Amino acid sequence: MRKLLLTLFTLTAMISNARSDAAAQSRRQRAERADLLVLGGTVVTMDEGRRILHDAGIAIKDGRIVAIDTRVAIRSKYSALQTINAQGKLIVPGLINGHTHIPMTLFRGLADDLDLQEWLTKYIFPAEAKNVSEEFVRVGTRLGLAEMIRGGTTTYCDMYYFEDAIADETAKAGVRGVLGETIIDFPVADNKTNAEAMAYVERFVRHWKGHELIVAAIAPHAPYTVSEEHLKAARAFSDRTGAPIVTHISETKREVDDSVKAKGASPVAYLERIGFLNDRVIAAHMVWPQDGETNILKQRGVGIVHNPQSNMKLASGVSPVPRMMAEGLFVGLGTDGAASNNDLNMWEEMDTAAKLHKVFTGDPKVLSAQQAFELATIRGAQALHLEKEIGSLEVSKRADLLIIERDSLNQIPLYNVYSDLVYATKSNDVHTVIINGRVVMRNRRLLTLNESAIKRSARVFRERIAKSLSLPTEP
């Protein structure tokens, strides 16, 4: 009897196990496959309606966001090999650093407290002439990439030399970049003539065409360092290839005065006159647009990148950012190179932007925390002409996102998400970084870069640079 009962019990258990196995299997079959799920937490979408979703979930497949919904809905609809629990945390779009010169991290702190002309001509150009090589560029780029990932920057726009090596390092680290090879009218480390530079940029743009992380660009340095003929050639190149044009425009009052003297027009009016401006141009600074010029910039669809800390440090002036935003121009935010900032920290840049314009106009409402966050996300994407791909968390966009810790002392308690993000959150609060669907930092650990090796090689360059400029060997 006991044996019979045991057999019956075993049979019943087997049937019930089989039933639940079948149910699980059919659930798995019904579930759509994704590569990565982020479950729980509050999603700050930065979409058109600026929706903020609590206890949400995101499904990611082939580098793109395929669904955003409640955590429960995403969990029941999707299965994935990798799941990240973001409960209690914030999920925000990756930050966009709209203007930098990434290898200049190796010149961090080399020369400070000077105006732009003196800083450039007495220190930076000579230091570059003596030190910039492909190896220098690779080491400085890796240092900058590590700093940017730690700080939650997922896309950056760059202008430097050996930009193909920068693109190579950037792609290997899994970071997104709009990367411009410099065109400048004096011999530089990678190219000695304009013909050489144009041949380089031709190969460079062809090499990266269609890459999912890298947008290769042409970067005529500025209207005061590149001739009219060469600016026109850069524009023609962009027309032919579709490559963006990265440049500096109207950074200082002196640049405007010199331009009026030499060319009979301010930088924007001059560039308009020679047919340079279009909706592929990404113009850093724009501190001194003259009367009526913001209208030209708007009509031409020029992207503008505000660099408040660099402009403050070099005493270049205050760009009329609130007015340009109100007029519907595409304005983003950048750090500029680490030699004039001196870091690549977009949290500081957002905080500075919001506060600079308040103190400058005497109006605390002139640029809100939410607007400052827009500058580093969706508006930054517009300034780089990439708003269809990045800048907000929406279905079909690239999966570039950050998971932000909310348990740091500097974030407690919390009343308003944007205020928390712009005025209280620090780089250290970035917990996990996902770019193009790939986790590049998890729980503060860099997964694509070797931090100690990066520090070591950057310090070797510090010695070489100091020696080349006869600086003391100890700081």
Minimum distance from CB of 249 to Zn ion (Å)?
Answer: 11
Rank residues 77 and 254 by Cβ distance to Zn ion and give the closer one. Answer: 254
Q: Between 124 and 417, name the residue whose CB sits nearer to Zn ion.
A: 124
CB of 307 to Zn ion, least distance (A): 7
Pairing of strands 153-160, 176-183: parallel
3-state helix, strand, coil in the chain (%, to 5): 45, 20, 30
In terms of CB distance, is 225 or 427 closer to Zn ion?
225
Nearer to Zn ion, 35 or 336 (CB): 336
Strand partners of residue 470: none
CB of 225 to Zn ion, least distance (A): 12
Nearest to 300 by CA among 335, 269, 339, 341: 269
Distance in angstroms (rounded) separating the CA atoms of residues 74 and 76: 6
Closer CB to Zn ion, residue 47 or residue 336?
336
Distance between CA atoms of residues 386 and 397, nearest Å: 10
* DSSP one-letter code for 94: P
Alpha carbon distance, N-terminus to C-terminus of the chain = 89
Give the binding range for Zn ion (CB under 5 A) out of 187-195, 294-302, 334-342, 378-386. 334-342
HEC readout, 318-376: CCCHHHHHHCCCEEEECCCCHHHCCCCCHHHHHHHHHHHHHHHHCCCCCCCHHHHHHHH
Residue nearest to Zn ion (CB): 336
Residue 174 burial by Cβ neighbours in a 10 Å radius (0-12, 13-18, 19+):
buried
Max CA separation in the chain (angstroms): 110
Pick 101 or 406: Cβ nearer Zn ion: 101
Phi, psi angles (nearest 5°) of residue 127: -60, -40
Q: Which is nearer to Zn ion, 38 or 219 (CB)?
A: 219
Distance CA 214, CA 389 (A): 13
**From the CB of 50, what's the least distance to Zn ion, in Å?**
30
**How many residues form the binding site for Zn ion (CB under 5 A)?**
1
Interface region with Zn ion, contact rule CB under 5 A, candidates 124-132, 331-339, 378-386, 413-421 = 331-339
How does strand 303-306 pair with strand 330-333? parallel
Interface with Zn ion in residues 278-317 (CB under 5 A): none
CB of residue 248 to Zn ion, shortest distance in Å: 5
By CB under 5 A, which span of 78-86, 119-127, 189-197, 329-337 interacts with Zn ion?
Answer: 329-337
Considering only the stretches 215-223, 328-336, 348-356, 372-380, report the one whose residues sit in contact with Zn ion under the rule CB under 5 A.
328-336
Output 336 or 374, the one with its CB closest to Zn ion.
336
* Rounded Cα–Cα distance for residues 219 and 349 (Å): 23
How far apart are alpha carbons 39 and 78 in whole angstroms?
Answer: 11
Q: State in angstroms the smallest separation of the CB of 222 from Zn ion.
A: 9
Binding mask 187-216 toward Zn ion (x if CB under 5 A, else -) reads ------------------------------
CB of 98 to Zn ion, least distance (A): 10
Q: What are phi and psi of 53, to 5 degrees?
A: -110, 125
SS (H, E, C) 374-386: HHHCHHHHHHCCC
Closest approach of Zn ion to the CB of residue 284, in Å: 5
Q: Nearer Cβ to Zn ion, position 336 or 405?
A: 336
- Binders in 336-395 for Zn ion, by CB under 5 A: 336
Q: Are strands 281-285 and 303-306 parallel, antiparallel or unpaired?
A: parallel
Min dist. Cβ of residue 115 to Zn ion (A): 15
Show Cβ contacts of residue 386 under 8 Å, excluding neighbours closer than 6 positions.
Answer: 155, 178, 215
Which one of the spans 22-30, 166-174, 333-341, 385-393 is the region binding Zn ion (CB under 5 A)?
333-341
By C-beta, is 153 or 432 nearer to Zn ion?
153
Q: Name the minimum Å distance from CB 451 to Zn ion.
A: 26
Which among 119-127, 335-343, 347-355, 393-401 is the span making contact with Zn ion, rule CB under 5 A? 335-343
Q: Which residues bind Zn ion (CB under 5 A)?
A: 336
